[in-house]
Structure 1
Amino acid sequence: MNKSIRVTALFSIILTIILLINLTVVQAFSVDKYADNPKNQRGFYDMQTVARGQIFAGGTVLAQSTANEDGIYSRSYPVDSPAWGPVTGYLSTQYGASQLEASQNNILNGTDDSLITSNFMDLITGEQPDGANVEVTIDPQLQQVAYDQLTQPGYEGAAVALQPSTGKILAMASSPSYNPNNIDDQWAQLQEQEGNPLLNHATQETLPPGSIFKIITTAAGLNNGYNPDSTLTGASEITLPGTNTQLTNYAGQVCGGSQQVTLTT
């Protein structure tokens, strides 16, 4: 056989082997990677044919899907308040999904492995299973109050209320925020807005705890023999025990206008 033909044939065989290896990797080992990629829009088009589950809290529906005459489902957020944007997130065929809509996607669209038993007949008949609902522990009224208390004075940041005995999240407000019903129309504006409104600042950003941390240090003091009348330093700065680190008071001020103050102060 002509040498050039042998080289060409060998080169073609090598390329074919590489192609087969690549197809095997993609089809056998990378299915979830590409299927769950937020840039893969096919899943979001497919979801329009599925009765996606609701997201609700305390009997209040936060997200739901409704079908039109053609059997195509659209996602809506009945509360219609930016207080819930960073919690439910958004679902858009153009911009993908975020927050609960993204993290609980397999539950909501009915494809999660935990739903195999309930969707057994659908699997046998080959029908698309309905999605399951997702319930959150947030109190709707408390959530709105927390959001209003952040936004009315114009604060940026987050407020979270927890039930200590169970760890349940009762409120998780973030400011600035957005209304998920308008995500497609306001996308460009939200991208340019200061404060990153598309982020959940309670979970996606590191923020200083502020004076709420005084609850912890006060509890530690009370557990170690201090009482409301115990005298403490009110100096503008102190050196932390066992270190050379200076802890400075806000704006370099003394506490309560005195070098010595009570624990109550």
Structure 2
Amino acid sequence: MNKPLRHVWLVIALLFVLLFTSTTYFQVFAAGRLNADGRNSRTLYNEFGRNRGPIVVDGTPIAWSEESDDTYGYLRTYEPGGMYAPVTGYYSVRYGFAGLERSLNDTLSGDADSLFYQRIADTLSGRATQGATVELTLDAEAQQVAYEALGDRRGAVVALDPTTGEILAMVSTPSYDPNQLASHDTGAVTQAWSDLNEDPERPLSNRAIAGDLYPPGSTFKLLVAATALDSGGYTKDSVIPGPGTYTLPGSSSVMNNHAGGGQEPCGPDDRSTLQSALQQSCNTSFAMLGVELGAETLQAKTAEYGFGDRMSIPLGVTPSRIGSDLDDAQLATTSIGQYEDRVTPLQMAMVAGSFANDGVVMEPNLVRSVRTQDLRTVSELSPQERSQPLSAANAAQMREMMVATVEDGTGSAAQIDGVEVGGKTGTAEWGEGRPAHSWFVGYAQAGDRKVAVAVIVEEGGYGSQVAAPIAKDVMEAVIDQ
């Protein structure tokens, strides 16, 4: 081979090496970075060109994909959008994912490992690929009742089946229309996003499981009562102190017995039974009881209920908590649901559910099943026990005390004719000069049908007047089916 041809051959060989090297780099080593780059329109069109699977409640889709006449291929649609938005989230060409659209993206898009064989079958049959169908545990009637009962107030409702952990209702208000964020009109989407994020009512927050969390107020007395029973030193009939006022240990601060400054004692000679103290929601009784039990005992019991734990339902749940390194004054205030106590409505529904389920806390879940487009079941909910903070006998005592609170105490507005209803109201102080939050936490059962519920209405005032009637409507919607 002469010298000029040899030079040409070397140049060609070098070009092939460079071509091979650059192709390998971009297709293998840089693929992840390039696919994740927001400027990569091909990735964007590929993602939104998929036929995502529907999200279904009681057999009816509440989120699904429709073919669009633009370059994206499919448009995500939500109906009724606002009622389910805190659960479904949104699927936006401009702002990505939220809610179940995010946590179950691989399943809905069809990319999950569990759908591998379905993808192979679709390819071999020439059938267009569709993501899996996700069927939720939500009860459509209970969800609607809760949504309408909250109305235009800020708050949340969670209802669950205490025997399975299935979440039957999860509502957070005010809500938003996810269709505005799913639109392919990027200008309109940008404006909607700006409006939602600037709204002081925080419609994008799921108040049922996240956000800033809430002081539980007197609903926390359920946990103190459960701790006392589990200690072995108390029963529902144990007589405990309940003076009209209580000077906090090591402090000059004085706690009044009732919200609004009431100083009446809980019973004759400043004493009452544990059950009577819960019925009357006596602050001094539970503050003194909490101090007697001790911080470590109370913290251990709340931990058994899930305080401090991160949960996935599969939405991420912000952990509930109480303060640490508590002195006796702080412990007293903690024991009536104030100081640094912060909870989600889901956590409090789990607490109520344990009393209706013989002391057992079940893992909460929003997903009943996942199915392929040819109806093959990929996964199905299998109820899992999370913990048992109470014995069945002590759970029965808790039910008796809670039923008494509804039948002849602060929770009377939650009564349902012919149904066993137990509960506890709460009026949670949270800001200087601000109206208190309104709470109700409880359960209802009739025959084999059971439901546990937690209701929070921000700045709603007395739980007996605002939250309890909402809880009644939701529990009735479940029990009457």
Q: Same fold (TM over 0.5)?
A: yes
Label 1:51 to 1:158 Cα distance change in 2 as closer, same or farther (>3 A): same
Pick from 175, 178, 184 the counterpart of residue 176 of structure 2.
178
Is the counterpart of residue 253 in structure 1 residue 227 in structure 2? no
Pick from 156, 159, 164 the counterpart of residue 158 of structure 1.
156
Q: Which residue of structure 2 aligns with residue 227 of structure 1?
A: 236
- Residue 198 of structure 1 aligns to a residue whose secondary structure is coil
Label 1:101 to 1:258 Cα distance change in 2 as closer, same or farther (>3 A): same
Answer yes or no: is the 8 Å Cα contact 1:44–1:96 preserved in 2: no
Answer yes or no: is the 8 Å Cα contact 1:57–1:135 preserved in 2: yes
Distance 1:196 1:69 in 2: 33
Q: Which residue of structure 1 aligns with residue 437 of structure 2?
A: none
Deviation string 1:114-133 (CA, Å, 9 cap, x unpaired) is 10011113456898631111
Label 1:48 to 1:24 Cα distance change in 2 as closer, same or farther (>3 A): closer
Q: Which residue of structure 1 aligns with residue 216 of structure 2?
A: 209
Distance 1:218 1:100 in 2: 36
Matches within 5 A, 1:79-228: 79-80=80-81, 82-123=82-123, 129-152=129-152, 154=153, 156-183=154-181, 184=189, 186-205=192-211, 206-221=213-228, 224=232, 225-227=234-236
Q: Which residue of structure 2 aligns with residue 48 of structure 1?
A: 48
Distance 2:106 2:117 in 1: 15
**After the TM superposition, which of the residue ranges 107-116 and 222-231 deviates more from structure 2?**
222-231
Residue 201 of structure 1: how far off its partner (Å):
1.9
Distance 2:40 2:126 in 1: 23
Aligned residues: 238
Distance 1:194 1:113 in 2: 41
Distance 2:217 2:37 in 1: 37
Distance 1:60 1:235 in 2: 54
Distance 1:144 1:190 in 2: 23
Residue 144 of structure 1: how far off its partner (Å):
2.3
Distance 1:182 1:144 in 2: 21
Deviation string 1:32-83 (CA, Å, 9 cap, x unpaired) is x775688977554323322210011222311011114679211111223x22
- Residue 53 of structure 1 aligns to a residue whose secondary structure is coil
Q: Which residue of structure 2 aligns with residue 4 of structure 1?
A: none
% identical aligned pairs = 34
Residue 157 of structure 1: how far off its partner (Å):
3.4
Answer yes or no: is the 8 Å Cα contact 1:61–1:79 preserved in 2: no
Distance 1:46 1:248 in 2: 62
Answer yes or no: is the 8 Å Cα contact 1:236–1:252 preserved in 2: no
Answer yes or no: is the 8 Å Cα contact 1:56–1:135 preserved in 2: yes
Label 1:216 to 1:191 Cα distance change in 2 as closer, same or farther (>3 A): same
Distance 2:208 2:51 in 1: 30
Distance 1:104 1:208 in 2: 31
Deviation string 1:73-132 (CA, Å, 9 cap, x unpaired) is 11111223x221110001111222111111111111111111001111345689863111
Distance 1:36 1:91 in 2: 17
Label 1:56 to 1:166 Cα distance change in 2 as closer, same or farther (>3 A): same
- Residue 187 of structure 1 aligns to a residue whose secondary structure is helix
Label 1:151 to 1:39 Cα distance change in 2 as closer, same or farther (>3 A): farther
- Residue 210 of structure 2 aligns to a residue whose secondary structure is coil
Distance 2:41 2:245 in 1: 56
Distance 2:168 2:90 in 1: 21
**After the TM superposition, which of the residue ranges 181-190 and 220-229 deviates more from structure 2?**
220-229
Residue 216 of structure 1: how far off its partner (Å):
3.0
Distance 1:85 1:258 in 2: 46
The aligned amino acid for 2:162 is P
Distance 2:60 2:209 in 1: 23
Residue 29 of structure 1: how far off its partner (Å):
8.2
Distance 2:41 2:138 in 1: 30
Residue 178 of structure 1: how far off its partner (Å):
0.7
Residue 171 of structure 1: how far off its partner (Å):
1.5
Is the counterpart of residue 73 in structure 1 residue 74 in structure 2? yes
Residue 136 of structure 1: how far off its partner (Å):
1.5
Query: What's the TM-score, normalizing by structure 2?
Result: 0.42
Distance 1:245 1:27 in 2: 69
The aligned amino acid for 1:165 is T
Label 1:49 to 1:207 Cα distance change in 2 as closer, same or farther (>3 A): same
Q: Which residue of structure 2 aligns with residue 61 of structure 1?
A: 61
Label 1:44 to 1:209 Cα distance change in 2 as closer, same or farther (>3 A): farther
Distance 1:37 1:236 in 2: 63
The aligned amino acid for 1:94 is R
Answer yes or no: is the 8 Å Cα contact 1:41–1:93 preserved in 2: no
- Residue 119 of structure 1 aligns to a residue whose secondary structure is helix
- Residue 111 of structure 2 aligns to a residue whose secondary structure is coil
